[in-house]
Amino acid sequence: MAALATAEACDTNAALLASGDLRVLQSIFQIYGQRQTFSGPIATLKVFEDNVLVRELLETRGEGRVLVIDGGGSMRCALVGGNLGQLAQNMGWAGIVVNGCIRDVDEINGCDIGVRALASNPLKSNKKGIGEKHVPVYIAGTFIRDGEWLYADRDGILVSKSELSI
């Protein structure tokens, strides 16, 4: 898949921005992983300080998708670590966006995926299996729905109702 520059996408899609079909996430995320630029259809997950469902989704074939995790913005523990980063790479996920923390930063930075998260925290999460898969989430000032498209690069993150053409 060819890279789509988020700045150029904003410049050439004013009508989609005006209608809300293309949205820009607030610039609150740190950049991790080897892929500085990534995109793909979105799979959503809503959890809080519990990453059992994160693993369950990452164990499925990614097929170039991006996992968007609404962790409630918690800074108290990590939802994704090095093992899950490696799993995501091995299963063909393009990237992970976490409204929360990651850990094992050096390991994640060695993975051939794109990762965005609020920060890092060395504490692992709970393992209760509580959360919701494939539900609308509200992150960084916008609603994000399962099946929409995410585009990320060093300038920021865009979410589109449909795939954008280059």
Q: What's the pLDDT tens digit per position in 14-54?
A: 999 999 999 999 999 999 999 999 999 999 999 999 999 99
Give pLDDT, residue 3. Answer: 73
Per-residue three-class SS string for the chain: CCCCCHHHHHHHCHHHHHHCCEEECCCCCEEECCCCCEEEEEEEEECCCECHHHHHHHCCCCCCCEEEEECCCCCCCEEECHHHHHHHHHCCCCEEEEEEEECCHHHHHCCCCEEEEEEECCCECECCCCCEECCCEEECCEEECCCCEEEEECCEEEEECCCCCC
Beta partners for residue 43, in sequence order: 67
* pLDDT beneath 50, residues of the chain: 1
74 phi and psi angles, rounded to 5 deg: -65, 135
Q: Which residues contact 80 (CB under 8 A, 6 or more apart)?
A: 51, 54, 69, 96, 98, 102, 103, 108, 115, 117
Give pLDDT, residue 165. Answer: 81
Query: For residues 118 and 105, what is the distance between their CA atoms, to the nearest angstrom?
Result: 12
